Amino acid sequence: MRSRNLKCIAPLGPEAMGTTESDRPTALVTGANRGLGLETSIQLRAKGFRVVLTSRDEKKGTAAVRGLDPGGGDVLYHPLDITDRASISAVAKDLPALVPRLDLLVNNAGIGSWGADRRASARTIATNYFGSRDVTDALLPFIPNGGRVVMVSSGLGELSTMGRDLRPRFADPSLTRAALDSLVNAYLTALENGDAKSAGWPSAYSVSKVSLNAFTRILSRERSPRGVRVNSVCPGWVRTDMGGLGASRSVEVGARSIVLAATLPGDATGGFYRDGKKIPW
Ligand code: NDP
């Protein structure tokens, strides 16, 4: 099934406009069948990107591609469940047949869990932190010098959501991947023991997004010698399935914040942005 959806070449491609497919910037967006991921794909396409739209549900993803790009060519599809190692490996394996390189990776897929349910909390960490990290690591070999990674984080990923003792540990500028993972695992252990709240841990959603922001800083440090820019973004509170009808922003405005972070001028890296402006973490 995968290979059937690999390519959709437009009858009138960018060659007709004096550029070749290989000149065109390419982006891959996770969780792009609906909500902010879909709208981000729409806006990136409007900016001239070829978009690899991915989703964990193939039917929903291919329907989104058909709606977005009925002629084919601008938007390609590949299934991707960011919590499934085999699914991540399949994208990494198939990507060279889809696009010449990846100029931009948007880690958008995410779930929310704000309550005390342990399984839902663990799933939220597995998706928002470990999943986004694993997708990034698998796709980094395709991101050239000067490419970008954008982590869709949240205002609920601000350090201030953490207990006072935990904040400096996440904010440590020399935090390593291993140290970050042990912080996240300490949260999962506290969750199991039922003492997460008393130990200063906020909701699983906040832990996942604080951790994603910490990973952004680690990755930007690792990749800056190659000029790969890695930033986190808050889209604001947005009227999607996750944000709910009462949210203050339209999906267009929220996705615009993501696209601005994905197209920041210069070599800004390791920052946290909303609406194209750096915000404190
Ligand atoms: P939605 O719930 O509308 O969409 C979430 C998307 O993520 C869906 O496409 C969903 O797929 C996908 N997804 C979930 N789990 C996985 C997985 N394991 N693998 C692949 N895809 C997955 O949420 P939003 O569009 O609002 O959220 C997008 C991002 O923005 C999230 O990271 C969220 O945390 C962040 N955000 C949202 C805010 C808001 O107010 N809406 C505020 C701040 C941040 P499926 O359809 O199959 O469920």
**Amino acid of residue 155:** G
Which pLDDT value is given to residue 10?
29
Report the candidate in 110, 66, 53 with the shortest Cα–Cα distance to residue 234: 110
Q: State whether the beta carbon of 33 lies less than 6 angstroms from ligand 1.
A: yes
Report the candidate in 213, 218, 221, 183 with the shortest Cα–Cα distance to residue 280: 213
* CA–CA separation, 6 and 26 (whole Å): 14
Q: Are strands 148-152 and 229-233 parallel, antiparallel or unpaired?
A: parallel
Supply the residue whose CA is at minimum distance from atom 41 of ligand 1: 243
Residue carrying the six token digits 């958008």? 108
CA 183 to ligand 1 centroid distance, Å: 24
The DSSP secondary-structure symbol of 249 reads B
CA 108 to ligand 1 centroid distance, Å: 6
The two three-digit tokens of residue 40, written as one number:
């981000």
User: pLDDT by residue (tens digit) across 75-110?
Assistant: 999 999 999 999 999 999 999 999 999 999 999 999
User: pLDDT by residue (tens digit) across 136-184?
Assistant: 999 999 999 999 999 999 999 999 999 999 999 999 999 999 999 999 9
Look up 187 and say whether it is catalytic. Answer: no
Q: State whether the beta carbon of 83 lies less than 6 angstroms from ligand 1.
A: yes
Conformation bin of residue 187: beta by default, left when phi > 0, alpha when psi is -120 to 50: alpha
Question: What rounded mean pLDDT belongs to the chain?
Answer: 92
User: pLDDT by residue (tens digit) across 248-262?
Assistant: 999 999 999 999 999
Q: What is the pTM of this model?
A: 0.94
* CA–CA separation, 139 and 120 (whole Å): 27
Which pLDDT value is given to residue 20?
60
Which atom, in ligand 1's list, is nearest to the CA of 109? Answer: 7
Which pLDDT value is given to residue 21?
64
| pLDDT above 90 as % of the chain | 89
Q: Which helix (H) or strand (E) holds 54?
A: strand 50-55
